[in-house]
Amino acid sequence: MSEFKIKRKTRTFSITLGTATAAATTLRLDDMAGGVVSVGTMLTSASTLQMFGATEEAGPYHRVYGADGSAADVTLAPSTADGRIYSLPDAAYALPFVRIVSGNTFATAVPAVVNLKS
């Protein structure tokens, strides 16, 4: 008897991190269940990636917070020697549209790849 395998959908986006929400790439998460953001080397002063979400693609975009009231941010452990991969926060998947923004100027103009999976 053969095993039934679930076929998952994936999406990959190339983005460039910045501090302006309006300039950030819009990620469509409406049928996604998990994902990661992969970043290259960056200054060790970089602190967070902030999630901004909206119910319509055109916005308005607002900071995403978890049920406990804390910001749904990704805390960075940056390195100048090698890249890192970070899981996206669960609260982001409650929204159909999300933008990832750098929490400070030390992680701007850094290329990143977002991989999403259903």
pLDDT digits (tens, 9 = 90+) for 32-82: 999 999 999 888 898 999 999 999 999 999 999 999 999 999 999 999 999
User: Is the model's pTM score more than 0.85?
Assistant: yes
Distance CA 21, CA 117 (A): 24
Q: Hey, which residues does 51 pair with through a beta bridge?
A: 100
| pLDDT value of residue 109 | 86
- All domains of the chain, ordered by start, with CATH? 10-117 (2.60.120)
Sign of dihedral through CA atoms 22, 54, 74, 66?
Answer: positive
